[in-house]
Amino acid sequence: MSKQATLQIRVDETIKQQAEQLFETIGLSTSEAVRLFITQSINERRLPFTPHLNNTNGSVLAFGKLRHYGNPELVGDERSAWLQTQNEKPKRDRTRSTAPDKQDVAIVDETILLRYLLDDDSRQSAKAYRIIVSKCAQTYPEVVARAVYLLEEDYHVPRSLIGNVIPLLASDLSIQDSTAIRLAARLYAGNRLSFTDCLTAARSTLTGYHAESFNKQLSKILS
């Protein structure tokens, strides 16, 4: 029988309580969770997760916000516990004061947005992060709509969470018609309309133009 040793660590009391609550939701004590972490680190000969630096200046808000939906191995209780941590609102957004040079602008598609939000591929997500952080990344409403569709259909991200994350994404990069995108995201979180339908409703609201549709749900919002 191997000899047992005692490990003592010091952490902030608030962090300790949050950790205990999280571990309880997945049926572990804090001691069991620490033992699991150490054992898994030894078995894999590395940290059993990819560490990321927390942004402290508010310049990036959305990176990795949906990473738990990019990992199909996570069970429902783990996701539920993680979702509770997503209610904190960021303190400030990034703003660009000067127009960028053309060579500094990168137009990105939905694959970049998905890797950026889901952080589910170490190489591609890191590249997506660098593109959005180091360049003046730019995208368009149709790209956002495609990303939203894939997040819900392929990754099963709740509409309410998508509605919270898209405005953060709009703070991390330049999105054409971003005001409509933000309003559409709020609408999307509260009904079953597609994101493109929500964009139609948002643009109607913002421009004051009357919109027509044979879609009964959309017409109800437009009326």
Tokens of 134: 């180091």
Residues 88-139: tens digit of each pLDDT: 444 444 444 455 566 678 999 999 999 999 999 989 999 999 999 876 899 9
Map tokens 């560490």 to a residue.
51
As beta bridge partners, residue 136 has 105
| The pLDDT of residue 202 is above 50 | yes
Averaged pLDDT for residues 41-46: 77
Strands (E), 74-186: 105-107, 136-139, 174-175
- DSSP-assigned states of every residue in 2-28: PPP--------HHHHHHHHHHHHHTT-
CA distance 34 to 40: 10
- Percent pLDDT > 90 in the chain is 39
Check: CB of residue 193 under 8 Å from CB of residue 170: no
pLDDT score at 141: 96
Residues 6+ apart with CB under 8 A from 65: 86, 117, 165, 168
